[in-house]
């Protein structure tokens, strides 16, 4: 079966949903593919809380905001912040209903160019034709697995935070988490809640402070890009680095204060300024040695080592890789998120090289939606 549209949005996470809603509101025939909020449901741990608040909503047209959702429940932001993952998923469901978006569950297996645009082949072998395609597949393909750790650890003994599965399996287990940012600390808290016998958190740097982050300065910068989309790329390198550093200080040198009592408790040990140097299978589990000389016996190692964009890892773009300009693994984008393949747009984390580090967060979904829809409407 073949269907066609002005715009095919690949990905039904925050970026894809926001884009599809705005495109639909402006009258573009739009198809959205992907599992609705699939990454948040499957690749983030149950029991997680967001760092962002109610102001980072999905509606580029400003109607179906988180605050509007709260109003339907007789609640205010203070009643729900910090937002739980489950609350955010409920909001996204409500947003889809209000905006009239129904993502099709199929996953794209291949994307090819045609004289009129593109044709996508889905995993059930159905076909979708579209004049324009916007790729919003987020982080899922980009888990960062440091080679030295993957080589050091037996394959059955480690996993990445991006693949949580059922965390109840860690009850009574001894777990080592490698990483020292919000995700590592969040996992430590959740595993302790799940009844893990021991949780060790090893990181190369000092442990971050339990301190509230201030993201309020980000909103006007990102909103301003609707009228000045070249702003970030036009900055001098030192200015760009300064913004990256400022976001880094908020995002990475602090972890949220509501984690403190859940992490700083018996059974959870922090190992700042340490690296794993070896691991050996023993009768008492995996013996993991740190470079401070400590050996710990654990059942499992979790790598909270983040994500790194490499477009070559997006399987359905294989046929277009030859035409897709890439720099340092990122797609080269024009000021409207368009790639070197005309009509092919890429947003979300892969856009951070050209649009700034904010595009790894949902604060940017509305600016991204408005710029892409404007570009498509004018093509």
Using CB under 6 A as the criterion, which residues of the chain lie in contact with ligand FAD when the complex forms? 10-16, 33-35, 38-40, 44, 50-52, 56, 107-108, 136-140, 183, 316, 348, 360-363
Nearest distance, CB of residue 167 and ligand FAD, angstroms: 13
Nearest distance, CB of residue 309 and ligand FAD, angstroms: 11
Minimum CB distance to ligand FAD smaller for 290 or for 361: 361
For residues 360 and 352, is the Cβ–Cβ distance under 8 A? yes
Minimum CB distance to ligand FAD smaller for 288 or for 369: 369
Nearest distance, CB of residue 278 and ligand FAD, angstroms: 28
Q: Count of residues for the chain? A: 379
Minimum CB distance to ligand FAD smaller for 43 or for 340: 43
Nearest distance, CB of residue 182 and ligand FAD, angstroms: 7
List b or e across 24-45, with b for residues whose CB sees 16 or more CB atoms inside 10 angstroms.
bbbebebbbbbbbbbbbeebbb
Nearest distance, CB of residue 343 and ligand FAD, angstroms: 18
Minimum CB distance to ligand FAD smaller for 296 or for 324: 324
Nearest distance, CB of residue 260 and ligand FAD, angstroms: 18
Nearest distance, CB of residue 347 and ligand FAD, angstroms: 7
Nearest distance, CB of residue 368 and ligand FAD, angstroms: 9
Q: Which residue is nearest to ligand FAD (CB)?
A: 138
Separation CA 198–CA 301 (nearest Å): 12
Nearest distance, CB of residue 82 and ligand FAD, angstroms: 9
Separation CA 89–CA 87 (nearest Å): 5
Minimum CB distance to ligand FAD smaller for 12 or for 290: 12
Minimum CB distance to ligand FAD smaller for 21 or for 44: 44
Which two tokens mark 173?
């287990």
Minimum CB distance to ligand FAD smaller for 65 or for 348: 348
Minimum CB distance to ligand FAD smaller for 150 or for 318: 318
Minimum CB distance to ligand FAD smaller for 290 or for 350: 350
């Amino acid at each position: 079966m073949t269907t066609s549209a002005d715009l095919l949005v690949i990905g039904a996470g925050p970026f894809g949903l926001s884009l599809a809603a705005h495109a639909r509101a402006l009258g573009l025939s739009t198809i959205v593919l992907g599992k609705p909020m699939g990454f948040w449901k499957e690749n983030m741990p149950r029991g997680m809380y967001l760092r962002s608040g109610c102001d980072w909503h999905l509606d580029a047209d400003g109607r179906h905001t988180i605050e509007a959702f709260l109003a339907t429940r007789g609640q205010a932001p203070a009643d729900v912040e910090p937002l739980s993952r489950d609350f955010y998923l409920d909001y996204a469901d409500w947003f889809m209903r209000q905006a009239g978006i129904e993502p099709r569950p199929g996953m794209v297996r291949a994307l090819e160019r045609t004289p009129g645009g593109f044709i996508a082949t889905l995993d059930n072998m159905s076909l979708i034709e579209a004049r324009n395609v916007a790729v919003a597949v987020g982080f899922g393909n980009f888990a960062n697995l440091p080679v030295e750790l993957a080589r050091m650890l037996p394959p059955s003994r480690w996993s990445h935070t991006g693949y949580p599965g059922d965390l109840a399996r860690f009850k009574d287990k001894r777990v080592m988490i490698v990483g020292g940012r919000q995700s590592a600390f969040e996992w430590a808290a959740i595993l302790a809640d799940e009844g893990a016998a021991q949780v060790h958190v090893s990181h190369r740097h000092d442990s971050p402070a339990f301190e509230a982050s201030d993201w309020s300065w980000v909103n006007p910068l990102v909103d301003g890009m609707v009228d000045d989309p070249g702003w970030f790329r036009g900055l001098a390198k030192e200015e760009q680095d300064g913004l990256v550093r400022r976001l880094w200080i908020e995002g990475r040198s602090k972890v949220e204060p509501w984690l403190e009592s859940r992490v700083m408790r018996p059974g959870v040990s922090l190992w700042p300024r340490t690296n794993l140097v070896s691991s050996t299978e023993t009768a008492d589990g995996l013996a993991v040695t740190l470079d401070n000389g400590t050996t710990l016996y654990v059942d499992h190692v979790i790598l909270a080592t983040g994500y790194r964009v490499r477009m070559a890892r997006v399987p359905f773009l294989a046929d277009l890789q030859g035409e897709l300009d890439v720099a340092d693994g990122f797609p080269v984008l024009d000021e409207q998120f368009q790639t070197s393949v005309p009509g092919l747009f890429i947003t979300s984390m892969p856009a951070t090289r050209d649009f700034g580090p904010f595009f790894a967060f949902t604060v940017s979904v509305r600016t991204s939606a408005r710029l892409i829809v404007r570009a498509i409407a004018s093509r």
